[in-house]
Amino acid sequence: MQQQLLIIYTGGTIGMVPSTEGYRPSAGINQLINSCLGEKQIAQLQPFHCLEFEHLIDSSNAQPEDWLQVAQCISQNYQKYAGFIILHGTDTMAYTAAALGHMLGENTKPIIITGSQIPMCQPRSDALSNLIDAASFARSDQVSQVCLYFGGKLLAANSATKVHSSQLCAFDSPNGQPLARADIALEFSALVPNSTLTKNKEQIDFLLKPLLKNSVAVLLLYPGISDAIIAATLLEQNTKAVVMLSFGAGNLADKNSFLMDALKKARSRGAVIVNMTQCYGGAVSQGTYAVGSTLNQLGVISAGSRTLEDVVTDLYINLDTYL
């Protein structure tokens, strides 16, 4: 007999239905699954239990407190289920995945976040394949972490990012390979099987704590950036951390005296500054050029090859470890 899964429905395109104002999240995911999927597909999912948010969200409206709600839901049900599937909107799915990766760091069970580009109730929906494949991975002994599954790829939660607004293969890991692919068979590349002893640990410590709103800001550098935009992020007293999206391998306009002075002031008041490249691939190599050495002296942290979603959620969740 297959192990039971918990499907957590937060909202998103996968469960949306048409309305006069466009597609909107709809309650009743269990009924939707049973009405849209055939008997054979439902049999592939079973046994499962559905739990849905009381207030469903379009993922564009997702906030840090929503990440915490999902993590708490998993924590409260952790010993009851063999694996978890989170149904989520695609717009901020990578943020929620990364946040769960940080919050549920000691997790040893499959936690798979997925969704769809086309609502489940519509023809040609990708919901069926994403949901069935996610269930297969959620029951696999080779998955023991938080992952994002979409369009045939199983990605590590903290390396996934949305790369296309409309294609069915909408997510990727810019600086890494998929952990697995769902082709004719599930093909694993980098996962290590769990021992039964590890998977059945009775006590798991998760990092579940209130998150400070408005404590993290993102500053995109570009030629001609105004002093006002720089000041609104680096000089805002309530901002505890700033992710600075710089050029190339972590470079910035060091001849911009206002920017350099603002960086110094931000650091002097204790703000955490993380230097991240704007490039899709590659990494920050802080110190390759002279300007990088200046950033090192200021105590600016290099993001290396991490994604924006990973860095932002890390700062929200683990800010106290950086201060």
What single string gives the DSSP state of each residue in 137-176? HHT-TT--SEEEEETTEEEEGGG-EE--SSSSS-EE-TTS
- For residue 34 the two structure tokens come to 């049973």
Q: What pLDDT was estimated at residue 218? A: 98
Q: State pLDDT tens for residues 151-205.
A: 999 999 999 999 999 999 999 999 989 999 999 888 998 655 544 434 444 556 6
User: In 3D, which of 106, 91, 96, 86 has the Cα closest to residue 66?
Assistant: 96
User: In 3D, which of 127, 174, 128, 131 has the Cα closest to residue 155?
Assistant: 174
Which of 5-19, 86-100, 197-211, 293-307 has the largest mean confidence?
Answer: 86-100
Q: Span 81-85, mean pLDDT?
A: 96
Q: What angle do CA 9, 11, 16 make, to 5 degrees?
A: 115
Going by C-beta distance under 8 Å and a sequence separation of 6 or more, which residues neighbour residue 121?
Answer: 17, 32, 36
Percent share of the chain, pLDDT over 90? 68
Q: Span 241-269, mean pLDDT?
A: 95
The residues annotated with a catalytic role in the active site are 13
Percent share of the chain, pLDDT over 70? 94
Q: Span 253-282, mean pLDDT?
A: 95
**Are 5-199 and 216-322 the same fold in CATH?**
yes
Q: What pLDDT was estimated at residue 151? A: 95
Q: What pLDDT was estimated at residue 266? A: 97
Whose tokens are 């978890």? That residue is 84
Q: Span 32-46, mean pLDDT?
A: 81
Q: What pLDDT was estimated at residue 205? A: 67
Reply yes or no on whether the pLDDT at 212 is more than 60: yes
SS3 call for 276:
strand
Task: Classify residue 269 as exposed, middle or buried by CB count within 10 Å of its CB (0-12, 13-18, 19+).
Answer: exposed
Cβ(77)–Cβ(61) under 8 Å?
no
Cβ count near 22 (within 10 Å): 7
| 216-322 classified as CATH 3.40.50.40 | yes
Reply yes or no on whether the pLDDT at 261 is more than 70: yes
CA distances from 173 to 126, 170, 304 (A): 20, 11, 14
Q: What pLDDT was estimated at residue 197? A: 38
- pTM, full prediction: 0.92
Q: What pLDDT was estimated at residue 214? A: 77
Cβ count near 195 (within 10 Å): 11
Q: What pLDDT was estimated at residue 213? A: 77
Q: Span 26-54, mean pLDDT?
A: 85
Measure the CA–CA gap between 160 and 150, rounded to whole angstroms.
Answer: 10
Q: Across the chain, what does the average pLDDT equal?
A: 90
Helix H or strand E segment including 129: helix 127-138
Q: What angle do CA 137, 142, 148 make, to 5 degrees?
A: 45
Measure the CA–CA gap between 74 and 252, rounded to whole angstroms.
Answer: 41
Q: What pLDDT was estimated at residue 190? A: 60
Reply yes or no on whether the pLDDT at 61 is more than 80: yes
Indicate the pLDDT class of residue 323, thresholds 50, 70 and 90: confident
Cβ(50)–Cβ(30) under 8 Å?
yes
| 5-199 classified as CATH 3.40.50.1170 | yes
Domain definitions of the chain by residue range: 5-199, 216-322
